[in-house]
Amino acid sequence: MKKISRRDFLRTVAGSALFACPLSGIYAQELKGQVKESHAPDVVFVPTPQDVVDKMLELAKVKKDDLVYDLGCGDGRIVTTAARRYGCKAVGYDINPQRVEESLENVEKNNVEHLVRIEQKDIFTLDLSKADVVTLYLLPDLNVKLIPQLDKLKPGSRIVSHDFRMRGVRPDKVIRLTSSEDHEEHKVYLWTAPLKKRKKSNPEPAATSSLKHPNLVIFVADDLGWNDVGYHGSVVETPNINGLVADGVELDRYYSYPICGPTRVALMTGRNPIRLGATGNFKEDVPGLDLGEHLMPQSFKAAGYQTFCLGKWHLGGFIDDAYLPHNRGFDHFYGHLHGSSEPYRHTVPSTGKPDWQRNGVQLNEEGKYCTDLLADEAVKLLRNRDKSRPVFLYMPFHVVHTPLREPPTPKAEKYAAKGVTDQRRQILATMVDAMDAAIGRVLDTIDTEGMRDNTLVLFASDNGGAEDKGGASNDPLRGEKGQLWEGGIRVPAAMRWPGVLAAGHKCRQVISVMDWFPTLTAALGVEPQNKRPFDGKNLWPAIRDGKEVPPEEIVIAKGDAVILDGEWKLVQVRETGRNLLFRINDDPSEERDLSAEHPEVVRELSARIKAMTDLMPPRQRTGSGRRRADQDEGERQRRGGQGRGGQRKGGQGGREGQKQTVSKNAPDQ
């Protein structure tokens, strides 16, 4: 008989009569391609892989004086592992007598009878109040059924679930691992008592439920690294971002530009910044992004949306009000124009000039933390919106861009206590923590306003984290902000739309920031009003249906250039002509250059890079004059291949804030 995965079996029989009573283990029989409940001896029991069990107990931080309850103990491997490894007491509960017998045999085999007890009971009748750790492997509906019992746990008690979430409750952490036993990817969820429940939505008003188009919310973090979010295993706590991943789709192969300004150009236009001569940041003597470019909010506004922009604009308006957000499709703008801002003083760090406004009117809100101000404004706008019209809310946060400043809460001591020793990283962690809380406030308002089921939420970073100066971490990816290695351009992202996108799905579709304009308008049924052609693609079918399509010619340039095409990534050093070729799916850390082995691929991809970069205005083609990829590659080899772990990573280009030029007159292409 063929052995099927426990997870696939659970999903296959979800909702069937098999789940009329609490589950203890998985009983499967394959008959003519159908999985059925077995009543015969030819039954296969598929337990949780041992390395997943180990990770569950590790995530729960089990201690010797803990009491562990395993609900649906199967063959008893969780309780015996907890007792054997941590010396703690444990109780396994199961309704099925065969599973109870197997568990008792396992307990005896491991000589932990003095620590472990196995009982045949209905798990939904148990008093869980004495447990310090509760382990689960049940479908989401059954996890939800346990909530009244889990509410009685002592504060600080931990709940871990293998593969399945608990709807309506935000996890503290979600991690993924590939088991060496079944070679499948597994998820482990952690919750801490008291449970952090999402606010219930109010009944949706008739005017809202009959909106012509769904709502759209886009959160953009600034300089957030790959390893700066909880769901990637970071020490940084991001329960609300984790919740978007758990309740929606994790976008695992999402690419931005390596610095802030070009990413925003691509996001707002759906076009490659190379065409516009905008591969650097706009300087103060440049008005801003070409007024001939049609921006995303203009299309949404034409479709009847209320359009709000809160946060960092970074697309001009320094010397001409026509370039301000509220004159480019947004009904309301609150925030700052420059690439960097003092979080409490709301001034430009390099000059001290005030830079905080509402619709062109400068404001003095000194002393209030920028992230909290943006959340306050968002909550107010959502509560006071016109409920007969859909909302497009765009929130590009300034954090965690430098200068690093602690928010009012939490303080750096929180992360020092977690073992973070670098002071910059401690402060960055508090800034991410505060941003996550602000996102949570907005999401809670969406819930209480009855908007949840009719709102598509997108979260992403604008580029990789700044490790040298900003305390970020892009591990295990190579490189950082300002560089074209994966650590500079592959960034955390997630999307949620209840009832439309499958919860808990990991999407490996390669997506670029240029794709959002065509993708989001297609998803929401909005007709794009652009006259100039998109460079981005409509990838909504791939995201919604999980049917990936190969990436086609995504070219990113900033001094040097890179192209993603199919399985390949080519990094091109423009000053020396050196090419570095990676089979990026197999080598995400970019450790093996295959250019010498595949010269034909290098030639083909180089020609495609040239075709795109030839469109760049002449002032941009000469290169940035900053650190080259081959120079960093040489340094990396001299270090013995070290490119991570807190050391400077090899890469192309310098950082945002160094001298860059942007053409004042972008070509009409």
Angle between helices 423-448 and 370-383 (to 10 degrees): 10
- Through-space distance between the first and last CA atoms of the chain, rounded to whole angstroms: 61
* Both tokens assigned to 564: 């993603």
CB crowding 203-236: b at 16 or more within 10 Å, else e: ebeeebeebebbbbbbbbbbbbbbbbbbbbbbeb
- Active-site residue, selected from the candidate residues 314, 326, 338, 398: 314
Contact criterion met (CB below 8 Å) for 177 and 51: yes
Render 190-237 in DSSP notation, one character per residue. Answer: EEESSP-BPPPPPPPPHHHHT-SS-EEEEEEESS--TTSSGGGT-SS-
Question: Known catalytic residue: 183?
Answer: no
What span, in angstroms and rounded, lies between the C-alpha atoms of 443 and 378? 10
What span, in angstroms and rounded, lies between the C-alpha atoms of 339 and 325? 15
Specify the DSSP element, H or E, that contains 582.
Answer: strand 579-583
* Both tokens assigned to 528: 């794009």
Backbone angles phi, psi at 31, to 5 degrees: -135, 110
The SS3 assignment for 189 reads strand
Residue whose C-alpha is closest to residue 438's, from 230, 660, 240, 300: 240
Question: Known catalytic residue: 314?
Answer: yes
Contact criterion met (CB below 8 Å) for 344 and 405: yes
Beta bridge partner(s), residue 336: 312
Contact criterion met (CB below 8 Å) for 491 and 510: no
Percent of the chain that is helix, strand, coil (3-state, to 5):
30, 20, 50
18: region left, alpha or beta (phi > 0 left; psi from -120 to 50 alpha): alpha
Q: Which amino acid is at 361?
A: V
- Active-site residue, selected from the candidate residues 73, 186, 232, 260: 260
How many helices (DSSP H) and strands (DSSP E) are in the chain? 21, 24
Catalytic residue positions, numbered: 260, 314
